[in-house]
Amino acid sequence: MLAVANVARRGTGFGAPTPVEIDLAETVVDAFSSIEKVRLVTSGTEAVMTAIRIARAATGRSRIIKFNGCYHGHSDGLLVRAGSGAATFAVPDSAGVPTAISECTSVVEYNDLEGFAAALGADPPAAAVVIEPIAANMGVVPPQPSFLEGLIRHAHDAGALVIFDEVISGFRVARGGAQELYGLAADLTCLGKIIGGGLPVAAVGGRAELMDLLAPLGPVYQAGTLAGNPIACTAGRETIRLLGDDAYRALEERGAALESGLLDAIREAGKKACVQRVGSLLTVFFGIESARDFLEASAADTESFGRFFRAMIDEGINLPPSQYEAWFLSLAHGEADIEAIVEAARRSLRSLDS
Ligand SMILES: *Cc1c(COP(=O)(O)O)cnc(C)c1O
């Protein structure tokens, strides 16, 4: 907070790069081995929109492939089967999106490598596949072992680029995101949320030869009046500074403690529910044993979730208000908080029958 206040006093935006913008860009390049160059933008929506424009320019193709239940921001072509917001209100797509645009997007079930290979083989050829490497906008749905590896191999065999949307997972599951956690490399990576430390910053990065397609070096237009502004970049830089190995170890330990506490509470209350977790990201799905894709996730018992949510509010615990949103633990959640959440869950789960 102090760093942000100090930098704000010296000017909030200059329409030109400032040193802290370069610091933040270098931090991103250091953290992700697949990123040689990075462009800062102001929202995750813009990051993915730009990644797709780069991929289309690089391949000379138009069609993109996404996964059912994954959210990639609210640009037209990506508001197709886009997870949490739409899932909660049972609106499959958005009004106001021309079919000429949504027709350029093919949708495949998450964790379905065969379905993905079939979509890749369809006409016209695909420019890119965009994916949340750890799906977190349909509730947390981790990738099955070797799914992402297979996806990268198939995409590259077909001449398509791989865009990892790490807006949630980047700097959250590891400093280098899901790519570090699973030992993978995407062609283009989108970042947001954590990298702004609570203020509006997002980024798209990747190999130099792809990023050099962006204006002013290349023919792919991209711009943003407030992109890389010093206030937001300072918040991001100062937040990421706190994220060393110790932080990720602590987040994993607390995530594991919360998961096992919740599983005990579910068992004791005799409820049918499962917990899906990667690091500090977690979802309790009611009424199902697991969810590997959106079809399985959407079989969850949202009625029970709603009653659990309201019981938890009465206990003073404000959960994400949808079955299809992830819980995010932060470093501010100490061991005592985890215990308090588990105790509240124990009482809330028991109260569901009455
Ligand atoms: C939040 C989110 C976005 C969109 O980011 P905004 O900053 O809200 O535009 C894109 N992709 C994923 C995976 C997200 O969770």
pLDDT tens readout for residues 54-67: 999 999 999 999 99
> Would you state the CATH architecture of domain 2-241?
3-Layer(aba) Sandwich (3.40)
The percentage of residues in the chain with a pLDDT greater than 70, rounded to a whole number, is 96
The per-residue pLDDT for 90 is: 43
Whose tokens are 């023919």? That residue is: 219
Ligand 1 mean position, distance from CA 281 (Å): 15
Ligand 1 mean position, distance from CA 43 (Å): 7
DSSP symbol at 56: H
- Over range 14-19, report the average pLDDT: 90
Q: Which of 168, 169, 194 to mutate to test the pocket of ligand 1 (most atoms within 8 A of CB)?
A: 168
The CATH number, out of the four listed (1.25.10.10, 3.90.1150.10, 3.40.50.2300, 3.40.640.10), of the domain defined by the range 245-351: 3.90.1150.10
User: What value does the mean pLDDT of the chain take?
Assistant: 94
User: Is residue 246 annotated as a catalytic residue, yes or no?
Assistant: no
Ligand 1 mean position, distance from CA 237 (Å): 19
- Over range 240-264, report the average pLDDT: 97
Q: Ligand 1, closest atom to CA 137?
A: 15
Residues 149-185 have pLDDT tens digits of 999 999 999 999 999 999 999 999 999 999 999 999 9
| Structure confidence at residue 124 as a pLDDT band (50, 70, 90) | very high
Look at residue 131 and tell me whether its pLDDT is greater than 70: yes
Ligand 1 mean position, distance from CA 261 (Å): 29
The per-residue pLDDT for 319 is: 97
The per-residue pLDDT for 44 is: 98
Least Cα distance to 41 among 239, 224, 235 occurs for 224
Bridge partners (DSSP) listed for residue 100: none
**Which is more confidently placed, 14 or 113?**
113
- Over range 93-107, report the average pLDDT: 86
- Over range 256-280, report the average pLDDT: 98
Answer for the pair 45, 201: CB distance below 8 angstroms, yes or no. Answer: no
Look at residue 82 and tell me whether its pLDDT is greater than 80: no
- Over range 247-268, report the average pLDDT: 98
Residue nearest to atom 8 of ligand 1 (CA): 44
- Over range 65-73, report the average pLDDT: 95
Q: Ligand 1, closest atom to CA 200?
A: 7
Q: Which of 40, 49, 137, 166 to mutate to test the pocket of ligand 1 (most atoms within 8 A of CB)?
A: 137
| Structure confidence at residue 2 as a pLDDT band (50, 70, 90) | confident
The domain limits of the chain are 2-241, 245-351
Integer CA distances (angstroms), 7 to 12, 23, 194, 230, 241, in order: 8, 14, 19, 7, 17
Look at residue 266 and tell me whether its pLDDT is greater than 90: yes
The catalytic position among 193, 248, 293, 324 is 193
CB-based pocket (< 6 A), ligand 1: 43-45, 48, 71-73, 132, 137, 165, 167-168, 192, 202
Residue nearest to atom 14 of ligand 1 (CA): 167
The per-residue pLDDT for 86 is: 57
| Structure confidence at residue 83 as a pLDDT band (50, 70, 90) | low
CA 141 – CA 321 distance, rounded (Å): 18
Residues 286-296 have pLDDT tens digits of 999 999 999 99
| Structure confidence at residue 96 as a pLDDT band (50, 70, 90) | confident
- Over range 307-332, report the average pLDDT: 97
Integer CA distances (angstroms), 2 to 9, 140, 234, 235, in order: 11, 34, 10, 10
Ligand 1 mean position, distance from CA 73 (Å): 5
The per-residue pLDDT for 141 is: 98
Integer CA distances (angstroms), 240 to 141, 174, 197, 248, in order: 25, 11, 8, 12
Query: What is the reported pTM?
Result: 0.96
Residues 223-239 have pLDDT tens digits of 999 999 999 999 999 99
User: Is residue 271 annotated as a catalytic residue, yes or no?
Assistant: no
Sequence-separated contacts (24+) of 265-273 with Cβ below 8 Å:
265/342, 265/345, 265/346, 265/349, 266/349, 268/346, 268/349, 268/350, 269/346, 269/349, 269/350, 269/352, 271/304, 271/349, 271/352, 272/301, 273/304
**Which is more confidently placed, 9 or 97?**
9
